[in-house]
């Protein structure tokens, strides 16, 4: 029997992250939902992210949040996959230069590791896996944005690796774009679109 998709327009859902940038981005991408900050549930402890897959990390966080709150919970795990680095930083994107690394630390290490790589071989992609866990079941949506790594940072918007990621079809980094322009390309926007489609279709195929 097919699971009933639990979200409709106006549904309340907890976003399993303490990252304010992600919260703002998902609220912008999913205005149809009433997205509650994890700050409203200070007792919730999210499990540490592992090193196996984006999917496993996203599901683990969403499951923990749903168990603790009893509410439908969304969690994402996102990262940058660079071909010349064998897929690194990948699931370790937020911890690329250490467990307590800052965005600036990770960015410096990435560019240092790519310093000998020619511009034509700096292909990369941002990946987002968005997991929804609710009493009715579990759903997973994936978004991918292909692009390349710039030779040096540019722009002051966004966060993470945005200053060096140029999406395919553009000549500017994510950090040089306003939020609405970034949403045209971004991996999170593509994952969020698939969730919206599931809402429209009741979890089935349109």
Task: Please report, for the domain that includes residue 171, its CATH number.
Answer: 3.90.950.10
Distance between CA atoms of residues 186 and 134, nearest Å:
25
Distance between CA atoms of residues 82 and 93, nearest Å:
11
Structural Rg of the chain based on CA atoms: 17
Residue 100 in domain: yes
pLDDT at 71: 95
Please confirm, yes or no, whether 39 is among the known catalytic residues.
no
Residue 4 in domain: no
Question: pLDDT grade, residue 203 (50/70/90)?
Answer: low
76, 77, 105, 183: which one is catalytic?
A: 77
Distance between CA atoms of residues 37 and 18, nearest Å:
8
pLDDT at 86: 97
Residue 174 in domain: yes
Q: 110-123 as b/e, with b when 16 or more CB fall inside 10 Å?
A: bbeebeebeeeebe
Residue 25 in domain: yes
> Residues 148, 166: contact at Cβ < 8 Å?
yes
pTM: 0.91
Does an H or E element contain 118, and which?
Answer: none
Name the residue range of residue 107's domain: 12-201
Residue 109 in domain: yes
Question: pLDDT grade, residue 1 (50/70/90)?
Answer: very low
DSSP class of residue 182 equals H
Residue 5 in domain: no
Phi, psi of 191 (to 5 degrees): -65, -40
Residue 58's alpha-carbon distances to 75, 90, 92, 125, in angstroms, are 5, 14, 13, 18
Q: For residue range 12-62, what is the model confidence (pLDDT) as tens digits?
A: 999 999 888 889 999 999 999 999 999 999 999 999 888 889 999 999 999
How high is the mean pLDDT of the chain?
93
The pair of structure tokens assigned to 9 is: 């327009």
Q: For residue range 157-185, what is the model confidence (pLDDT) as tens digits?
A: 988 999 999 999 999 999 999 999 999 99
Residue 80 in domain: yes
Beta bridge partners of 125: 81, 146
Residue 146's alpha-carbon distances to 58, 71, 154, in angstroms, are 21, 34, 18
Residue 199's alpha-carbon distances to 15, 59, 131, 187, 194, in angstroms, are 17, 19, 14, 19, 9
Number of structural domains the chain divides into: 1
pLDDT at 18: 85
């Amino acid at each position: 029997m097919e699971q009933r998709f639990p979200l409709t327009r106006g549904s309340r859902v907890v976003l399993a992250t303490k990252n304010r940038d992600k919260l703002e981005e998902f609220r912008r991408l999913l205005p149809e939902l009433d997205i509650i900050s994890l700050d409203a549930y200070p007792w919730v402890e999210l499990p540490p992210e592992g090193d196996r897959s984006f999917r496993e990390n996203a599901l683990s966080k969403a499951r923990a949040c749903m168990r603790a709150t009893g509410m439908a919970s969304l969690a994402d795990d996102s990262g940058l996959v660079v071909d010349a680095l064998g897929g690194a930083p990948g699931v370790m994107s937020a911890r690329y230069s250490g467990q307590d690394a800052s965005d600036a630390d990770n960015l410096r290490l990435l560019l240092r590791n790519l310093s000998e790589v020619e511009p034509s071989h700096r292909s990369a992609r941002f990946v987002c896996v968005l997991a929804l866990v609710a009493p009715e079941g579990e759903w997973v949506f994936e978004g991918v944005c292909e692009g390349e790594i710039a030779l040096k940072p540019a722009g002051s918007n966004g966060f993470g690796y945005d200053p060096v990621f140029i999406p395919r079809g553009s000549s500017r980094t994510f950090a040089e774009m306003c939020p609405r322009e970034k949403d045209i390309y971004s991996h999170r926007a593509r994952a969020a679109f698939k969730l919206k489609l599931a809402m429209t279709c009741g979890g089935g195929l349109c």
